[in-house]
Amino acid sequence: MPTFGTGRRVAIVAGVRTPFARSGTVLKDYTAIDLGKLAVAELVQRTALDGATVDLLVFGTVVQSVIAPNIAREVSLLPHFPKTLQAYTVSRACASANQAITDAADQIALGHAHVAIAGGAESLTQVPILHSRGMTDVLVAASKAKSLTQRLATFAQLRPKDFIPITPAIAEPSTGESMGQSADKMAKLNGITRESQDRFALRSHMNAAAGTDDGRLTAEIVPVPAPPKFEAMIATDNGVRRDSTYEQLAALKPVFDRQYGTVTAGNASPLTDGGAAVLLMSEERAKAHGYTPLAYIRSYAYAAVDPAEQLLQAPVLAVPIALARAGLALEDIDLIEMHEAFAAQVLSNIQGLASNTWAARAGLSTPVGEVDFTKLNVMGGSLSIGHPFGATGARVLTTLCNELARRGGQFGMLTVCAAGGMGHAMIVERA
């Protein structure tokens, strides 16, 4: 089994997450730091982990707080850990938690750590609202004024347009295209029909509803007290629509390209709040502490494409690298988790893996292969469960490892697309 070239296997011991909730709903009063702390605290409790044994905490987030930009350090200051625990924050757009996990895994494989916690959190309700440049200039100048008269004169320079706030946009700085516009473009380029997108979205909701009802999804969730009275507990994801029908999804209007587009609110992942974390250990430390790992990280890879081309297609280039590093082929994989940013993106990724054109771009003589839908996102995905940008990667890994163990499978694969034209793939193996 590959061991990062060091002879040390990295074990995935456990994973925990908060419920995922549509932004502006039941988790709106929690910050990303709060959500991260809730997930990590529960991870420690469930695994009976001695916090003093943790060597490293790495966390991902995308829309960072300007007040507390190192979310990892804030999470590491939980009373479960010594104040000397090193912690740092990473950001790779929607693959931020994956970056946190692979960073931590690398440190374990190199022998620099034995025990690490990695994950991410996001509150897409509490995004920072920025002042306009004009307002910023005036506020800075006013702070330097030496008298009330000077301060008032400075504020007198404000114009009505200066009061218009700037909100973060889910768009590419390099192209100006939003993710939704990019998904629409991918659907057109790859011939992904509106019907196939809506049917895939319906499949996601139905699978997630089944996984919630039989307890497979709720098993990975820590119930969270519901503000403001904290008298009830939030224990399930609130984006899963078990009553959805194809006819309802088909009736929704496109939201990006209103005339020719096929991406709707129903076949796109919702803005979501949530946090997730996983516990990683060296194989020898896990065994010494009596843990039975869910799985081991066998390989991983990152890739990128031109953001102006097909923004969310990079997983197609990451998968063959990860498979080659693992010494495996697609048919060896027992279970697959693909992050569902948009139905059009997942279906484009699947098409790309079977494409001669994309195989050539990856330096392959033949395509990676056809994805078996019976192995794919068997408990739904981000379209239904939700997508807190910084947390999704840890949720996908947790879901994959838990279900792989339940099914008695050996190999699992996950993929995550990310803004900036980036993509990630990981192969895990059960011992």
For 165-189, what is each residue's pLDDT tens digit? 776 667 888 898 999 999 999 999 9
Q: Which residues pair with 90 in a beta bridge?
A: 60
Which residues, other chains included, contact 202 with Cβ-Cβ below 8 Å and sequence gap of 6+?
244, 245, 246, 249
Out of 114, 205, 401, 417, the active site residue is 417
Dihedral (CA of 369, 370, 374, 375) sign: positive
> For the CA atoms of 96, 99, 101, 107, what is the dihedral angle to 10 degrees?
-150
Question: Which position has the higher pLDDT, 153 or 417?
Answer: 417
114 is catalytic: no
What is the Cα 420 distance to its own chain's centre?
14
Confidence of residue 273 (pLDDT cuts 50, 70, 90): very high
94 is catalytic: yes
For 407-417, what is each residue's pLDDT tens digit? 999 999 999 99
Q: Is the pLDDT of residue 190 over 50?
A: yes
Q: Is the pLDDT of residue 64 over 90?
A: no
Out of 80, 114, 339, 387, the active site residue is 387
Provide the whole-model pTM: 0.93
Out of 80, 94, 114, 205, the active site residue is 94
112 is catalytic: no
Please give the backbone phi and psi of residue 45, each rounded to the nearest 5 degrees, phi first: -65, -45
Maximum Cα–Cα distance for the chain, whole Å?
Answer: 75
Confidence of residue 1 (pLDDT cuts 50, 70, 90): very low
